[in-house]
Amino acid sequence: MPKKTVLHTENLSIGYKNKKIASVNDFFLEESDFVAVIGINGAGKSTLLNTLTGNLPPIHGDIKINKRSLQKFSLQERAKEISIVLSKTEILTPLTVTEVIALGRQPYTNWIGKLSSLDKEIIKKSLKQLDIEFLQNSYCNQLSDGQLQKVMLARAVAQDTSLIFLDEPTAHLDLYHKIYVLKLLKDLTKKTKKTIVFASHEIDLCLQLCDKIILVKNNQVFLETPENLIKKNHLSELFPENIVKFDKNLKKFTIL
Amino acid sequence: MKVQANYFITGSITLILLFFINISLGSVHIPLKEIFKILSFQEASNATWEYIIFSYRLPKAVTAIIVGSGLAVSGLLMQTLFRNPLAGPYVLGLSSGASLGVACLLMAGSWFGSVFQTEITSSYSIILASSLGSFLVLLAVLAMAAKVKNTMAILIIGLMFASFTGAVVSILSFFSSAEKLQQYIFWSFGSLGDLNWKEVSLLSLCWAIGLILALCTLKNLNALLLGESYARSLGTKITQNKFIIILATSLLAGSITAFAGPIAFVGIAVPHLVKVVIKGSNHFILYPASIMTGSALMLICDTIAQLPGSEYTLPINAITALFGAPIVIWLLTRKKKITL
């Protein structure tokens, strides 16, 4: 059975009112895809994510979520299809882990935010899926960066969207936790059939773990499988070649 | 959960008690038995007492509740909107606007001859001038809010408005007579006791609309605890929500300042007090708790301000800060981290 297409782009160009950043080769994302967005600093990764999540209107073309144009979604409808996790979350107030995850149910609750038994069940399930049940009554401002990241992820899972976008989910973590989080995310895509798209600088890790990679380079955005990306030499030209070089056999960057 | 339940039960009992204490104390001693008689619409043994209770103490107690709860709620809204524990009902410059209005009326008004003199100093014209002042500032802030996307910029714009109007008031004070200056200063002390029932009902109308508007934003305020990006991703209409919050705050703080003068401190202190005791951030709990605590605090301050047994009344503004500030300092030093 073919996998369901969740998101696809049509003749998309991204950028701001008077400044085009890149044109996008049409691509498809299917359910349970685990997709990294890579590119050098300033290439337009954030612009792409902002456009795909609907916070920035495209300057040309269209994004379709489940075959419906993203521009036609109301804010609340969009909140049921797309959830986000930012690289750094600042919670200044005493909020418990369960309360934060419960906020993920907001698109589904009434005006006083009353949680139904279904909502409560989903909150419990997402606590379990991220293995943070033991934290459920802790206050978020007392957690480590890694734990907080998981809580925010659980919140996104509880929001029950077909797509989750993450902005550099591994930015503040050590190598062990970087790999741990990426594997967890991948696991999540297979378990929940959600599509996860994340911006990352961990190109080596992404090549090993992701199903597809979106490369932002030279005002162009295109999607490839990791194998093709290497085969077609796209990575060797990613950085200026006088300092770092991509080794095709080792599948990683080496310092010259 | 248990802390919260206890808080609301003790809180409401305390509030009722404070209400009766507030009414039973004043410059004229009225026996407690007579007070209950009067409140239950029975014939009191002294008609003057009845008059004092119905025309003076009761409206004053009701005003205290409206002022305390209204300012507390607007402080709560501002602190969450601006993600800043120092924000209060007056960060948008409302009290400065009101001050400017009253200063213009009292001090600049006298330059236009003595023809209007008696008209000018009546309480209604002060209310009008103060409302007009806050309303103009509100319009300016709302216009800015529609134009400026950055929430922090609105905070700074509010502070700039305050500095600007403060400067104008200084210039006006410099050129005005001692008598006019005194009148202005007395207004800025704040007063709960000058309102008749008609004014109280007008104030409570503004208060009720403000509280209802605030009620509509509670779910969004909870989302805003994670920051604007997350709130938007959860379906919150950020700009519309900001507009409603500013409107509710202006209605509450603006009308209160117009009728009772600029009452400092309550708006900033009460949300802190509530958050420390409840140890939570859910606005559906903070909102009723702020209403309750604000009312109670204002009733206490008013009871103290009228110096029971004496015929003096201290400025309410001084009392709120004098007794409230140490409490907040004490509460905050007890814990390690300042929370919003």
A199 shares its domain with A124: no
A141 shares its domain with A117: yes
pLDDT at B311: 79
Q: Are B231 and B220 in contact (CB under 8 A)?
A: yes
pLDDT band for position B159 (cuts 50, 70, 90): confident
pLDDT at B242 over 50: yes
Least confident of A16-30, A153-167, B137-151: B137-151
The closest CB to that of B233, out of A84, A89, A94, belongs to A84
How large a percentage of chain A has pLDDT more than 70?
A: 100
pLDDT at B151: 78
Which of A103, A126, A160 is the C-terminal boundary of a domain? A160
Find the residue in B nearest to A158 (Cα). B234
The tokens for B186 are: 């007395």
- Read off the pLDDT of residues A22-72 as tens digits, 9 standing for 90 and up: 999 999 999 999 999 999 888 899 999 999 999 999 999 999 999 999 999
How far does the CA of residue B248 sit from the closest CA of chain A (Å)? Answer: 17
pLDDT at A179: 92
CB atoms within 10 A of CB A117: 7
Residue found under tokens 């006006």 = B172
Q: Are B79 and A92 in contact (CB under 8 A)?
A: no
Higher pLDDT, A89 or B335: A89
Least confident of A132-146, A178-192, B102-116: B102-116
A123 shares its domain with A249: no
The closest CB to that of B225, out of A83, A91, A113, belongs to A91
A175 shares its domain with A247: yes
- Read off the pLDDT of residues B44-66 as tens digits, 9 standing for 90 and up: 778 888 888 888 899 999 999 99
CA A137 – CA B211 distance, rounded (Å): 31
Counting beta carbons within 10 angstroms of the beta carbon of residue B150, is it exposed (0 to 12), middle (13 to 18) or buried (19 or more)?
exposed
pLDDT at A128: 93
A47 shares its domain with A172: yes
pLDDT at B116: 52
A114 shares its domain with A42: no
- Read off the pLDDT of residues A192-225 as tens digits, 9 standing for 90 and up: 999 999 999 999 899 999 999 999 998 999 999 9
- Read off the pLDDT of residues B125-147 as tens digits, 9 standing for 90 and up: 888 888 888 878 878 877 887 78
CA angle A163, A168, A171 (to 5 degrees): 150
Length of chain A: 256
Please name the residues in contact with B18: beta carbons below 8 A apart, sequence gap of 6 or more.
B296, B299, B300, B303
Asked if the Cβ–Cβ distance from A159 to B234 is below 8 Å, we say yes
Please name the residues in contact with B189: beta carbons below 8 A apart, sequence gap of 6 or more.
B261, B315, B316, B317, B318
Number of domains in chain A: 2
pLDDT band for position B1 (cuts 50, 70, 90): low
Find the residue in A nearest to B285 (Cα). A112
pLDDT at B340 over 60: no
A235 shares its domain with A255: yes
Asked if the Cβ–Cβ distance from B281 to A95 is below 8 Å, we say yes
How far does the CA of residue A162 sit from the closest CA of chain B (Å)? Answer: 14
Q: Where are the domains of chain B?
A: 2-334
Least confident of A93-97, A238-242, B162-166: A238-242
Q: Which of B48, B30, B50, B31 is nearest to B40 (CA)?
A: B50
Question: Is A89 near chain B, with CB under 8 Å?
Answer: yes
Whole-number average pLDDT of chain A = 91
**Which positions in chain A touch B226 (Cβ < 8 Å)?**
89, 91, 100, 103
pLDDT at B175: 86
- Domain formed by B2-334, architecture: Orthogonal Bundle (1.10)
Domain of residue A101, residue span: 89-160
Segment 124-143 of chain A within 8 Å of chain B by CB = 141
A76 shares its domain with A104: no
Residue A212: CATH number of its domain = 3.40.50.300
A146 shares its domain with A238: no
A143 shares its domain with A166: no
The closest CB to that of B219, out of A53, A95, A112, belongs to A112
A242 shares its domain with A252: yes
Query: Which of A82, A106, A140, A163 is the mutation pick for testing B, counting most B CBs within 10 A?
Result: A106
The end-to-end CA distance of chain B, in Å, is: 20
A176 shares its domain with A254: yes
Asked if the Cβ–Cβ distance from A92 to B339 is below 8 Å, we say yes
**Which positions in chain B touch A49 (Cβ < 8 Å)?**
none
